[in-house]
Structure 1
Amino acid sequence: GSLVLHFADESSENTDVLIGADGIRSSVRKTLFETIDKDLVDPSKISHYTDPSWTGTLVYRAIIPAEKLLEMDPSNVFLGELVMVSLRESGQYGRE
């Protein structure tokens, strides 16, 4: 089915898909659970699904000027195409 999004400026938009990439305290996720059929989710337990909780996973991000990376290593793989590097549990880096 189609979704109707209502915004603070009182405008509305129709869409088939909504991607809620709005962070750890997601208003999209909270609104979804607040408006879902009460037979599917007990209203008293909405916070269980919407409040942040520790998962044991850490994420680190950094922004480093390209000039600094070139100074460190002119052949740096990060200065070409988009590259994602993930740190595995074993401590090994893996290029994806």
Structure 2
Amino acid sequence: MMVCHGNVIRYLVTRALGVDTKSWLEMSPGHASITRIRVEADGRFKVLSVGDVGHIPANMRTGSTGDADRDLGAPALPLQSTTPAVPAR
């Protein structure tokens, strides 16, 4: 058993799957989620689950699967334009 940050989990999953480790950037496990990787007797890895949050009540899930403290449709930070405003004519 390991308890670790999502970045470590994502990296370990990519290694277990034998894919490019840069693909961990595409994964986003929820907070307190469970990822299970089994090491077989012959040394092979088997990914059983990634980011499982089924043990957490829906209204308490945070991270990639939602945020209990804010509206799910709202962005985490206000969106700001990098384009300067154009004065009206």
Q: TM-score, normalised by structure 1?
A: 0.27
Going by fraction, where is helix more abundant, 1 or 2?
Answer: 1
* Larger-gyration structure (1/2): 1
Q: TM-score, normalised by structure 2?
A: 0.28
Pick 1 or 2: higher relative contact order, CA cutoff 8 A, min separation 6.
2
